[in-house]
């Protein structure tokens, strides 16, 4: 009898999606739209960023007129951050989001998420990474434990092993030695 296995799916790109504080109550509705648009939610977490963390996350915007309002807005309540994956994830997510100014999005992209959930040019409801490079950086910021492909090598691999793998192995092996099972198999 032949066992049919589904073809493994390889996600070539990942991007970061954030549901901002003012639309957190629409989380399920937004997630449904994301899934129906062909994305897979690889990881998800709900958190509240401090103003300092927001300043670090949006460091590239530092010095712009809206920066203080942006950090205050993003730290005003909980957010939902998700790692989304699919082919061309960054560009498809940006397309689904629409223009960053929600007022403009309502005119030019009326079915986009920002047109549907945003209220103005600052409170646009959702965040999306601008490029593959920024997606990787932002994912590492929000999900520091996430392994992004390609698998790290060199110093990054050593750092990961020292931070996550070695402590777990040490604790597990120590517990095993203390138990000394009569029949290990």
How much is the pLDDT for 86?
93
In the predicted structure, residue 2 carries a pLDDT above the cut 70: no
Is residue 102 domain-shared with residue 162, that is, in the same domain? Answer: no
Q: What is the largest CA-CA distance in the chain?
A: 72
Is residue 109 domain-shared with residue 161, that is, in the same domain? Answer: no
Residue 4 lies in a domain: no
How much is the pLDDT for 3?
60
- Sheet order of strands, 79-86 included: 40-47, 79-86, 13-19, 126-128
Is residue 135 domain-shared with residue 45, that is, in the same domain? Answer: yes
Residue 175 lies in a domain: yes
Q: Are strands 126-128 and 79-86 parallel, antiparallel or unpaired?
A: unpaired
Is residue 64 domain-shared with residue 96, that is, in the same domain? Answer: yes
Is residue 94 domain-shared with residue 169, that is, in the same domain? Answer: no
Range(s) of the domain holding residue 39 = 13-142
- Residues 18-44, mean pLDDT to the nearest whole number: 96
Is residue 108 domain-shared with residue 157, that is, in the same domain? Answer: no
- Residues 35-46, mean pLDDT to the nearest whole number: 95
Question: How many other C-beta atoms can be found within 10 angstroms of the C-beta atom of residue 170?
Answer: 10
Is residue 89 domain-shared with residue 176, that is, in the same domain? Answer: no
Is residue 86 domain-shared with residue 166, that is, in the same domain? Answer: no
Of the candidate ranges 28-32, 52-56, 158-162, the one whose mean pLDDT is the lowest: 158-162
CA of 116: how far to CAs of 75, 92, 103, in Å? 22, 17, 10
- Residues 21-28, mean pLDDT to the nearest whole number: 96
End-to-end CA distance of the chain: 32
In the predicted structure, residue 98 carries a pLDDT above the cut 70: yes
Average pLDDT, the chain: 89
Residue 5 lies in a domain: no
Residue 3 lies in a domain: no
Residues β-bridged to residue 82: 17, 44
Residue 116 lies in a domain: yes
Residue 8 lies in a domain: no
Q: Provide the percentage of residues in the chain whose pLDDT is more than 90.
A: 68
Is residue 45 domain-shared with residue 109, that is, in the same domain? Answer: yes
Is residue 18 domain-shared with residue 60, that is, in the same domain? Answer: yes
How much is the pLDDT for 152?
63
* CATH code, domain carrying 23: 3.30.70.141
Instruction: Return the active site residues.
Output: 127
Is residue 130 domain-shared with residue 160, that is, in the same domain? Answer: no
Of the candidate ranges 65-69, 107-111, 148-152, the one whose mean pLDDT is the lowest: 148-152
In the predicted structure, residue 184 carries a pLDDT above the cut 80: no
Is residue 159 domain-shared with residue 96, that is, in the same domain? Answer: no
Q: Provide the percentage of residues in the chain whose pLDDT is more than 70.
A: 88
């Amino acid at each position: 009898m032949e066992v049919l296995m589904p073809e493994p799916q390889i996600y070539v790109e990942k991007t970061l999606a954030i549901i901002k504080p003012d639309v957190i109550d629409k989380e399920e509705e937004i997630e449904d739209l994301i899934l129906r648009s062909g994305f897979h939610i690889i990881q998800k977490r709900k958190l509240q960023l401090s103003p300092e963390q927001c300043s670090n996350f949006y460091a590239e915007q530092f010095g712009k007129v809206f920066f203080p309002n942006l950090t205050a807005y993003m730290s005003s309540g909980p957010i939902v951050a998700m790692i989304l994956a699919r082919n061309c994830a960054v560009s498809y997510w940006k397309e689904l989001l629409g223009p960053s100014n929600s007022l403009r999005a309502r005119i030019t992209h009326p079915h986009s998420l920002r047109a549907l959930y945003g209220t103005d040019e600052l409170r646009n409801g959702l965040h999306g990474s601008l490029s593959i490079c920024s997606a990787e950086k932002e994912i590492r910021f929000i999900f520091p434990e996430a392994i992004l492909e390609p698998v790290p090598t060199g110093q990054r691999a050593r750092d990961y092993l020292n931070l996550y793998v070695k402590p777990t192995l040490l604790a597990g092996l120590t517990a095993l030695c203390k138990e000394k099972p009569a029949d290990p198999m």
